[in-house]
Amino acid sequence: MTQEYKGTALVTGASSGIGAIYAHRLAKQGYDLIIVARNGERLKALASRLTDETGRTVETVAADLGDKADLARIEGMLKEDRSITLLVNNAGVGGTAPLLAADVDKMQEMIELNVTALMRLTYAAVPGFVTRGGGTIINIASIVAIAPELLNGVYGGTKAFVLAFSQSLKHELAEKNIRIQAVLPGATATEFWDIAGTPVEHLPNEIVMSAENMVDASLAGLEQGEFATIPSLEDAGQLAAYEQARQALMPNLSRTAPAKRYKIA
């Protein structure tokens, strides 16, 4: 059965793993696609498969979002292509090395991709979404956004930014018919781990989710209206309690007088 056309989804980091599966699932849902990644040959092969299977139009863009000129190209597409209704900010890189063993230049590159590129693409997309009356942004964060001690601290910091940025966007755009979803996957079976320096085979099997299950869970969460989706979290009440605790803090975070425990006699 042909799915109703839903506009165009632009997916970054789409040549493999999570991004490629998002592209597949969204094409099956009725989206045409713009798929972006560094590996142009992989993108072309994926586009051919998706078009054959779904009949959707798939445009490929070979681009390195860590390169300013390439990033500006994708920003331009988001600003100019009125058919785009969904942005999946998936492109990113990770790390497992502690500070004393990490290359600081690699950490800077991580920030440029995980933070700067995601922020700039979002800023490029949102004005058009507002003008056209709606849109959706899916930002791929990580469980390390709330548990940064699990992996490299800079990686955790970049994903904490993604979560905080998404939370702010949800608040800012609440009346603009723009959906914001932050996805916080745990360990997922992709090439991420090889690139980060710890092969996924070295992780306990019981904590690793397939990329297919991760994406399917995230899209189910989007359909259910979730802002934050943690695909492996069985008890949604735990996340609700976390958010309630955060909200309870907010009225007490900024006051004239120091807390009594800090007063010097």
Residue 151 to residue 157: CA distance in whole angstroms: 10
Residue 7 to residue 135: CA distance in whole angstroms: 10
* Tokens coding 75: 């920003």
**pLDDT band with cut points at 50, 70 and 90 for residue 66:** very high
Q: What is the CATH number of domain 8-237?
A: 3.40.50.720
In the predicted structure, residue 2 carries a pLDDT above the cut 70: no
Average pLDDT, the chain: 95
In the predicted structure, residue 33 carries a pLDDT above the cut 50: yes
* Tokens coding 247: 């909200």
Collapsing DSSP to helix, strand or coil, 174 comes out as coil
In the predicted structure, residue 61 carries a pLDDT above the cut 70: yes
Mean of pLDDT values over 237-262: 95
Annotated active-site residue 155? The verdict is: yes
Q: Is the dihedral of CA 74, 105, 196, 122 positive or negative?
A: negative
Q: How far is CA 71 from CA 12, 57, 76, in A?
A: 11, 23, 9
- Kindly report the pTM of this predicted structure: 0.94
Place of tokens 């995601």: 118
* Tokens coding 210: 């397939």
Which residue in the list 5, 31, 123, 155 is annotated as catalytic? 155
Q: Can you give the residue ranges of every domain in the chain?
A: 8-237
* Tokens coding 256: 């004239």
Question: pLDDT, tens digit, for every residue of 116-125?
Answer: 999 999 999 9
Our measurement of the distance from residue 59's CA atom to the centroid of its chain's CA atoms, rounded to an integer in Å, reads 20
Q: How many other C-beta atoms are found inside a 10 Å radius of the C-beta of residue 189?
A: 19
- Judging by beta carbons within 10 Å of its beta carbon (0-12, 13-18, 19+), is residue 120 exposed, middle or buried? middle
- As a whole-number percent, the residues of the chain with pLDDT over 70 amount to 97
Query: What is the maximum span of the chain, computed from C-alpha positions, in angstroms?
Result: 76
Residue 92 to residue 213: CA distance in whole angstroms: 19
Collapsing DSSP to helix, strand or coil, 238 comes out as helix
In the predicted structure, residue 1 carries a pLDDT above the cut 60: no
